[in-house]
């Protein structure tokens, strides 16, 4: 756990995303002259309730979030406090710290913890 207290989108990111949405939506059927809840119940107005792209596009976007577009606040002044004391729980007394020697041909991905 990284002790994140809050996450807030940066205003510049919001403004840029809104501009992108409005530019994209003008070429879609959603922006035509009709009353729609996608436009807050207005006949003409900005489309505010849709992702600017397909559903597949939405899922691809979620694969690589732009964390740099957010302000992150942690509970501690030290953002790296979550690293703890520098030791892994795998190094606690009684744990096998050389487990990877048991089957070196299996590779790192085959190791379960």
**Domain range holding 29?**
4-85
What rounded mean pLDDT belongs to the chain? 86
Name the least confident of 1-10, 23-32, 48-57, 89-98: 89-98
Q: Are the C-beta atoms of residues 25 and 52 closer than 8 Å to each other?
A: yes
Residue 13 belongs to some domain of the structure? yes
- Judged against a pLDDT cut of 80, whether residue 106 lies above it is answered with no
This prediction's pTM? 0.65
Instruction: Return the higher-pLDDT residue of 60 and 108.
Output: 60
Q: Is residue 104 part of a domain?
A: no
60 in a structural domain: yes
Residue 21, burial from CB neighbour count under 10 angstroms (0-12, 13-18, 19+): middle
Classify 84 in phi/psi space as left (phi over 0), alpha (psi -120 to 50) or beta.
left
Residue 70, strand partner residues: 9
> Residue 39, exposed/middle/buried by CB under 10 A (0-12, 13-18, 19+)?
buried
């Amino acid at each position: 756990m990284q002790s994140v207290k809050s996450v807030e989108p940066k205003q510049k990111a919001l403004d840029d995303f809104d501009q992108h949405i409005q530019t994209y939506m003008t070429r879609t059927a959603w922006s035509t002259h009709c009353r729609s809840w996608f436009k807050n119940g207005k006949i003409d107005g900005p489309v505010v309730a849709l992702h600017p792209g397909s559903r597949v596009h939405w899922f691809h976007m979620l694969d690589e979030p732009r964390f740099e577009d957010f302000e992150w606040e942690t509970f501690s002044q030290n953002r790296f406090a979550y690293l703890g004391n520098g030791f892994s729980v795998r190094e606690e007394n009684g744990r096998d710290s050389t487990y990877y020697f048991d089957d070196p041909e299996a590779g790192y991905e085959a190791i379960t913890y």
